[in-house]
Amino acid sequence: MEGKQIIGIDFDDTIVNYVERWIEVFNRETGKKASFNDVKAWRLFKLFSDVIDEKKMNEFFAKTWKEEYENIRLVDPLLPKVFADLYNDFSLYVITASFASDMQIEGLLKRNNVKYDKIVHVRSHEDKLSDKIRIYVDDNPVTAKEFSEEGKYIVLFDRPWNRDVKENGRIKRAATWTEAARKIKEFASY
């Protein structure tokens, strides 16, 4: 592991399709009929503020992990193969502010045969920033913008809530993990 470049990888909606399951809980609890593609803002409580406040939103986040854990799937069926290939050349750190516990994260990664080096649980997206990491893979538009301004490279996993973020020399979009791996390797060569 020593000498390998560290890649910081978000968990929710970068490794697993969390928001799809969250929408199910949200619709069930509120009677709404929202879909994944309706989620056009990263801060969900602002998007659905007409029916829910931030405290209740956070309760839904926790409830989703409790009730929907077995139904949460990988964002890409090829992710285990891509991670296995990346694992040969990079240290893969899952860095997340997820409401999931470390045990749930480990369980999902293990049940899907996803190779990684370390799980780092942080309080907020700002806490992901590290001098040891040059390349991040995330779906958060705020992380992409702020970290790129700090000189980091971002592979932005394409989601409805980050479509307003434009690619530049430090931010590249990816719709699949095969595409993300190509961009990680490209950034690593800089």
Q: Is the distance from CB of 92 to CB of 9 less than 8 angstroms?
A: yes
Pick the more confident residue, 36 or 172: 172
Same domain, 22 and 9: no
Total count of residues recorded for the chain: 190
pLDDT of the residue at 51:
79
pLDDT of the residue at 44:
66
Last residue of one domain, picked from the residues 27, 53, 71: 71
Question: What are the tokens at 19?
Answer: 């928001």
Same domain, 97 and 128: yes
State the amino acid at position 120 in one-letter form. V
The rounded mean pLDDT for the chain is 92
Same domain, 45 and 109: no
Same domain, 36 and 11: no
Of 42-56, 73-87, 124-138, minimum mean pLDDT range: 42-56
What percentage of the chain has pLDDT greater than the value 90?
72
pLDDT of the residue at 48:
77
CATH label of the domain that carries residue 106: 3.40.50.1000
Give the residue among 181, 157, 179 at the shortest CA–CA distance from 90: 181
Same domain, 155 and 98: yes
Last residue of one domain, picked from the residues 71, 93, 112: 71
User: Mean pLDDT across the stretch 51-77?
Assistant: 89
pLDDT band at 49 (very low <50, low <70, confident <90, very high): confident
User: What are the Cα distances from residue 106, in Å, to 55, 113, 121, 160, 184?
Assistant: 26, 10, 12, 27, 23
Same domain, 45 and 134: no
> In which domain, by residue range, is 25 found?
18-71
Q: Which residues pair with 157 in a beta bridge?
A: 174
Same domain, 48 and 90: no
Same domain, 149 and 169: yes
pLDDT of the residue at 182:
98
What percentage of the chain has pLDDT greater than the value 70?
96
Number of domains in the chain: 2
Same domain, 99 and 56: no
Same domain, 111 and 157: yes
Q: Is the pLDDT of residue 1 over 60?
A: no
Pick the more confident residue, 174 or 45: 174
User: Mean pLDDT across the stretch 166-180?
Assistant: 97
Same domain, 130 and 40: no
Q: Is the distance from CB of 109 to CB of 93 less than 8 angstroms?
A: no
Q: Is the pLDDT of residue 2 over 80?
A: no
pLDDT in tens, 72-122: 999 999 999 999 999 999 999 999 999 999 999 999 999 999 999 999 999
Same domain, 59 and 152: no
> Rounded to whole angstroms, how far apart are CA atoms 93 and 43?
24
pLDDT in tens, 10-23: 999 999 999 999 88
pLDDT in tens, 139-149: 999 999 999 99
> Rounded to whole angstroms, how far apart are CA atoms 172 and 18?
22
